[in-house]
Amino acid sequence: MAAGAAERTRVPKTDRIPTGTQAIFFDAGGTLFRPFPSVGHYYSEVAGRHGCKVGAEEVEAAFRRVWSEHDGIGDLRSHSDEKIEKEFWRRIVTAVFKDFKGLRAFDPFFDELHDLFAEPGVWKLYPEVEEVLQALKEKKFILGMVSNWDSRLLKLCEGLGIDRYFDFKVISAVFGAAKPNPRIFEEALKKANVPAGSVVHVGDSLEDDVRGAHLAGIKAVWLDRSGRHKTLSKDHQDFVTVIKDLRGLLGE
């Protein structure tokens, strides 16, 4: 991590769920669920059915590069609809496959791929998710979802069985602002009807989740499933509250 980026994520270290917390906001992808086994697996599999033979790891690397270049779904910063969202994904997939040959026709391939990622079966909850959400719900916390995603997130949450835990969702492509812009967090605060100081936000991105929440005056917990906090300087580690999985919110 560049020193400047680390500097921007400095927030006072606190208890994971401080006394007085009324609401807990969650990121979605990488926090609650992930594509399983991987984005590359499905891109490779669908491409193969349409004439393009490319390995899962190769296409996964291309996707990650393109995703970073496009600032992820942060490119969908204005209000969108299904047509705009699909066109966004068309640009992403076109860029991913620009150097891979063999597709018989792009449109049928893309349509199948786009529809596939709207299906809950492509995604998998992390093992502890339902247990933790249920425990927090029983403790009477207001639970919100604040995610950089398109409108298909609503169907995914229903299909994955976690819709019932959340009091509301603020989705970047629907709302019109993406994390780390504090506007998306401010909208979540309005929906929760609580002050920023009584909220904890949990997510896996230092930039989008930790810094974004901090800009909105919200305490943040960094969900670091892969041990990335070890790459931070000791000084920065001391200023970021870190958990390795969501059970850490329960003190486990």
Please list the residues that pair with 202 across neighbouring strands. 26, 221
Which pLDDT score is estimated for 236? 60
Which pLDDT score is estimated for 72? 64
Please list the residues that pair with 203 across neighbouring strands. 222
Which pLDDT score is estimated for 64? 93
Instruction: Taking the CA atoms of 48, 54, 59 and 60 in sequence, report the sign of the dihedral they define.
Output: positive
Which pLDDT score is estimated for 21? 97
CA 117/CA 73 separation, integer angstroms: 14
Please list the residues that pair with 144 across neighbouring strands. 25, 168
Using alpha carbons, select from 148, 144, 149, 140 the residue that is nearest to residue 190.
144
Angle at 167 between CA 174 and CA 36, to 5 degrees: 65
Per-residue b or e along 195-220, where b marks 16 or more CB atoms closer than 10 Å to that residue's CB:
ebebbbbbbbbbebbbbbbbbbebbb
CA 83/CA 113 separation, integer angstroms: 15
Average pLDDT per 10 consecutive residues for the chain, totaling 252 residues: 38 67 97 96 97 97 90 59 86 95 96 94 97 97 96 93 98 91 97 98 94 95 85 64 94 76
